[in-house]
Structure 1
């Protein structure tokens, strides 16, 4: 007999039975899906039965490119949240920095979310400015993209970073003409060198932080999320969280590449709750700080001039030779590889490197991944598809930075076609969407709306020819995201035997008007057959 039976509109995301009116759950798995009559025999005296009314039941959403372990720390104490989604204006940000410095004590202050493109009027965060705000205690401000950090002299001393500290691979510390530190760290390895003292995971306190992170995910309807910057040093804290039973999302781990070019586990290590499936590498950085490799220039605007990237084509952080040298040892050991690549020149570089690697070592189902792919062109989507390379798109850029992309950075031709989901589908891709938390809050519903409408916060529509159907957008947050994570056998669809991870929305996404998609609400989230958000 079933533990739980739900009646209502059911979108299974299974092509053999796309829609149903009832679903039965037993022992954390889907027992039956079909008509009311098909499911009724599974109802027993102890079965909880619920009719969702005008709601709609779908597989739990999947965040295919997230950072939940890192976000759990960044959104917890003592880090101060100054992201644009929290503080919209420059005056509010500056006031928050002053308060943090006044209250921090000798340990210093760490703030996350600096974004001068959205928080108009922020000053340039020079070393002199930072030292003036906090002359004695460490002060570190993380850029909202995660690709840069600004730090004062006391923070450099606390981190043991000097003018003689070598740049990490693929990252660097900014220096002035005399070779002295200028207070900027670029890319993950350098950012962690500056801020890692505060951002490290403590096994004693981490379970509570991860529980709060899972609650945020569940409230958005998410039941599986990838960690795209996993560090093996996180294993003790993660194990403590698993032991404490706080996980209400499944985790798929992508370990950051390092100079050893090896992991301490084999591909697929773990279980259906926590599994390591891939390796994360980077080719370039963030469009918001100018270090993505482009075939076209940034515009010459007040915004680009203020950030020092007017008329620049940006740059990559690695060469094609380095991409191949990093990828090949992991690939030879059977790993899936996911590469951060925003600029079209960076994407060409990665595809060139991977095409050579695949020529030397063909693998029929490798599912190599390109991440974010903001400036990816139609011909590049076609080339990637021919190589078996799949793509995960950061479509929420369109909502938050759509106007910035067109008006401040790239113009309508290049900025308007950012995150070109329509071109990806036309090339035959199975794509996923993501929020890259904490860059933007995890919100699959808005991702779906973004891809269907391509509407910015101001209401402007970017490249309407790149809009996609609602059904395709739903797949990008469910079954196709599961496929990218090598997990389609157990999540992403509502079929007998799959995990009973599901979400109940306030209406059927296939029947609401496209402009109303963003107003859909998560009424309940079920993880392994148990309600973890809302009530049933």
Structure 2
């Protein structure tokens, strides 16, 4: 063979290999996806005409004719019908177990996700739920609602025990704020929980009182709410806990998530996740991060056992910005009722506990996810990670900052230098952007919540999450908010922090896969990776940006198997 023929043959072989020909030939194909837009999230080959799958893994990506020809006559041909195939979404931060609670309780979300626009509507939702008497709650005798938001209620206040007493005085009622950092109990519930005029505020929490007395008004903040909530959840039996795990992961799958996170797992929930996984009842992968102050010891793993694993630990330093409990370095724009003009929120734990907890995670090689919304809380986390890295310089645990909503520019530089992965919350710009601008932070600070625009010039990866059940795990709402940053009123918060659609998609696929140490298995459509896909109604790279939130998830596919079909 002469030199020219050898060169031509080498070019042909190289081309076929780049199109996935030899990967396909090496293993028989059982399914080929074609006739749609295939967005791979692989910078070397961002688009493809066909994808071949065998036994749950991708074996070829590339030219339609070559992939089809190499697949063989027995392979199933899946016609995408012009729809768009992407990698399955990876949950950068959410709460799968609590999503199950959201799916199983009275829906108190405000529009557009629910009907609770004012307190009478909220009361009606609770009454309707009681009338339906869902079987899942019969065993505990409580009325539970999820998702009310004082910032969106027409009355611009939290409901009180008296508002809930108007629904029923015969049953205990507990409603959970959309942020998950507040709750309201009726009189019967306060009695059951032992919260009285003699009760003192716990560390990191506040029992709100009626004016001119110590009588609890029903509103409970942070640890004053979370401890009673844990007391209530402790009444759930194994069957109910397992039900919440299944319903939470299934709901997330309807929005295109093939990897779901439980970002603050408690012991009963962890046990339920294991039981559900052991009997093969998880449709998608579930990675849990136990609350390290509630679960003293964990055994993280990088490997799933029947689609479940413990990924590391979770630490919570402060509260909610929309609830005005996040720990800020400067006062709130308008402090909550009863607080002074210099009110800056407060920590859920003290600085020494935060530092010791982070050091413990590094000492044991655990990945740590840290909830820190306010910039004062973020300072504590940065300082703790810096100290831990100095003491344990060889630990590679990819520490994560969860939310980071009031990140300052100097803090962006610090987390970049320390290798802290920011899992940000741009979806807040839609749900609470107007509230942040007008009441929580004021116009200047509100423009810079979840400041993705400060990350891009530094070449930083980030995750964009839903934090469900704070909101529904709506991937298209996450995508839309990350790209447009448009609020409910139509305002754009921080135009300089808008990112291209391709970047926002990476923040929902490849980059959170890296966050979870799974970049070699998930996050892009490449030979060798899991066949985790989502099929969208249209191409998000081609539709007008203002229409991104209207895209629909047509299918969610986990390892080649359809787990959700619209």
The TM-score, its normalising length taken from structure 2, stands at: 0.86
1:383 to 408, 411, 414: 414
Find out whether 1:17 has 2:64 as its counterpart. no
For the residue of structure 2 that corresponds to 1:498, the secondary structure is coil
**What does residue 103 of structure 2 align with?**
75
SS at match of 2:239: coil
Moved more, 112-121 or 44-53: 44-53
Distance 1:65 1:149, change over 3 A: same
- What whole-Å deviation, never above 9, does each CA across 1:164-183 have from its counterpart, x for those lacking one? 77876644555789876553
Once the two structures are superposed, residues 14-57 of structure 1 have per-residue CA deviations (whole angstroms, 9 ceiling, x without a partner) of 23322211101111111111111331244334321023243221
Question: Are the structure 2 counterparts of residues 195 and 280 from structure 1 closer, same or farther at C-alpha, using a change threshold of 3 Å?
Answer: closer
**1:186-230 deviation per Cα after TM superposition (whole angstroms, max 9, x unaligned):** 326842424643576533345554443333222211111110011
Q: Give the structure 1 partner of residue 400 of structure 2.
A: 369
2:452 counterpart of 1:421: yes
Q: Equivalent residue of 1:503, what SS?
A: strand
Map 1:175-194 to 2 at 5 A. 183-187=218-222, 190-194=225-229
Moved more, 442-451 or 148-157: 148-157
Q: Secondary structure at the match of 1:10?
A: strand
Q: Once the 2 structures are TM-superposed, how far is the Cα of residue 469 of structure 1 from its aligned partner?
A: 1.4
Does residue 120 of structure 1 match 2:154?
Answer: yes
Change (3 A) 1:468 1:356: same
Q: How far apart are 1:427 and its partner, in Å?
A: 3.1
Identify if the C-alpha distance between structure 1 residues 173 and 258 changes in structure 2 by more than 3 Å, giving closer, same or farther. farther
The alignment yields a C-alpha RMSD, in angstroms, of: 2.8
Q: Could you tell me how far apart the structure 2 residues matched to 1:506 and 1:396 are? A: 21
Relative to structure 1, is the Cα distance of residues 407 and 379 closer, same or farther in structure 2, using a 3 angstrom cutoff? same
CA distance in 1, matches of 2:93, 2:198: 35
Pairwise CA distance, 1:122: 5.5
Residue 257 (structure 2) aligns with: 222
Give distance in 2, aligned partners of 1:272 and 1:382: 39
Which is further off, 96-105 or 5-14?
96-105
Give the equivalent residue in structure 2 for 1:458.
489
Q: Do the aligned residues in 2 keep the contact of 1:378 with 1:424 (CA within 8 Å)?
A: no
Distance in 2 (CA, whole Å) between partners of 1:6 and 1:236 is: 38
Q: Is the 8 A contact 1:72 1:210 kept in 2?
A: yes
Q: Which one has a bigger Cα radius of gyration?
A: 2
Counterpart residue number, 1:92: 121
CA distance in 2, matches of 1:518, 1:425: 23
Question: What SS class does the counterpart of residue 357 from structure 1 fall into?
Answer: helix
* Corresponding residue for residue 277 of structure 1: 311
Structure 2 distance, partners of 1:188, 1:273, is 32
The answer to whether 1:313 aligns with 2:313 is no
Contact 1:452-1:468 at 8 Å conserved across structures: yes
Q: List alignment gaps of at least 5 residues for structure 1.
A: none
What are the superposed Cα offsets for residues 293-345 of structure 1, whole Å, 9 maximum, x if unpaired?
Answer: 11232224xxx555857663222222322211122222211111111111112
Q: Residues 136, 309 of structure 1: CA spacing in aligned structure 2 closer, same or farther, 3 A cutoff?
A: farther
Aligned length: 529
What is the rounded CA distance, in whole Å, between the counterparts of 2:436 and 2:516 in structure 1?
A: 30
* Farther off after superposition, 66-75 or 474-483: 66-75
Distance 1:461 1:264, change over 3 A: closer
- Check the 8 A contact 1:201/1:237 in 2, yes or no: no
Matched with 2:181 is 147
- Say which of 171, 196, 205 aligns to 1:137: 171
* Partners of 1:178 and 1:74 in 2: CA distance: 34
Deviation of residue 486 (structure 1)?
1.4
Residue 284 of structure 2 is aligned to residue 249 of structure 1: yes
- Worse-matched range after superposition: 204-213 or 408-417: 204-213
Residue 519 of structure 2 is aligned to residue 520 of structure 1: no
Say which SS state the counterpart of residue 466 (structure 2) adopts: coil
CA pair 13-360 structure 1, distance change in 2 beyond 3 A: same
Change in Cα spacing, 1:93 to 1:14, as seen in structure 2 (3 Å) is: same
Find the aligned partners of 1:130 and 1:454 in 2 and give their Cα distance: 35
Q: Alpha carbons of 1:431 and 1:518: their partners in 2 closer, same or farther (altered >3 Å)?
A: same
Give 3-state SS (helix, strand or coil) of 2:218's partner: strand
Give the 3 Å change call, closer, same or farther, for CA 307–34 of structure 1 in structure 2: farther
Give the whole-Å Cα distance in 2 for the aligned partners of 1:367 and 1:317: 23
1:480 aligned to 2:503?
no
1:458-505: per-residue Cα shift (whole Å, max 9, x none)? 221111111111111110000001111111121111112211110112
Which TM-score applies when normalising by structure 1? 0.90
Distance 1:129 1:449, change over 3 A: closer
Q: 1:448 and 1:255 mapped to 2: Cα distance?
A: 27
**Which segment drifts farther, 67-76 or 115-124?**
115-124
Give me the whole-angstrom Cα distance separating, in 1, the residues matched to 2:132 and 2:247.
24
Change (3 A) 1:413 1:2: same
Once the two structures are TM-superposed, the CA of residue 423 in structure 1 deviates from its matched residue by 1.0
The answer to whether the aligner puts 1:51 opposite 2:79 as a matched pair is yes
Structure 1 stretch displaced more, 236-245 or 387-396:
236-245
2:266 pairs with 1:237: no
Provide the residue aligned with 1:5 in structure 2.
Answer: 32
d(CA) in 1 for partners of 2:427 and 2:234? 26
Label 1:174 to 1:460 Cα distance change in 2 as closer, same or farther (>3 A). closer
